[in-house]
Amino acid sequence: MNSSIVMTIIGITVLTTATIGFGATLSTPLEFNLIGASDNTSIGSARANVTSIDFIQEVGSNGVIQINGTTFSVGNEDTVNVHVFQVCLAMEGPIGVFTPAAGQSPACTSTLSIAANAIHTDHTINFLTTMNVTSLQNISVSVEELS
């Protein structure tokens, strides 16, 4: 194959990947986003941290240790204001296996008001579906600042 054809195909592939990868579509006109400037779209992040995650474990009827929940601490990183946070957790097992399962309600809990620079301990999320300890591959935590 002619090298100019190969280079054209590679160029189109890179352009398509970069365009879609940065949140646009192929029909979106190309334009620069000046990060930090007036045209930049910002999404605020929760001023919280989740630490001391411990798994609540039990021995299942088949004799295998299973995870049926977690306990954790939530810290308010805001140095001035009191906040309430919602924390959601999802566990991932073998390919395509999640707890809670896709389509189910998320496993979440809300904190009480947490003072500036304070930490609340002993928050608990119990899962409706348990997961074998040996199957756990990843745990995802999301935090939303409610107030």
pLDDT tens-digit readout, 36-71:
556 555 556 778 889 898 999 999 888 889 999 999
* CA–CA distance, 57 with 18 (Å, rounded to integer): 44
CATH fold of the domain at 48-145: Immunoglobulin-like (2.60.40)
Q: How far is C-alpha 62 from the geometric centre of its chain's CA atoms?
A: 31
Give the mean model confidence (pLDDT) for residues 1-7.
64
User: Is residue 118 very low, low, confident or very high in pLDDT (cuts 50, 70, 90)?
Assistant: very high
Alpha carbons 102 and 104: distance in angstroms, whole number: 6
Looking at the predicted structure, is the pLDDT value of residue 1 above 60? no
Give me the residue spans of the domains in the chain.
Answer: 1-42, 48-145
Residue 85 has pLDDT above 90, yes or no: yes
Task: Kindly provide the b/e burial profile for residues 3-12, where b requires at least 16 CB atoms within 10 angstroms of the residue's own CB.
Answer: eeeeeeeeee
- Which tens digits make up the pLDDT trace of 97-115? 888 887 888 899 999 999 9
Placement of tokens 């204001």 in the chain: 81
Q: Is 22 left (phi over 0), alpha (psi -120 to 50) or beta?
A: alpha
Decide if pLDDT at 72 tops 90.
Answer: yes
DSSP-derived 3-state class of residue 2: coil
pLDDT of residue 103: 80
pTM comes to: 0.66
| Mean pLDDT across the chain | 80
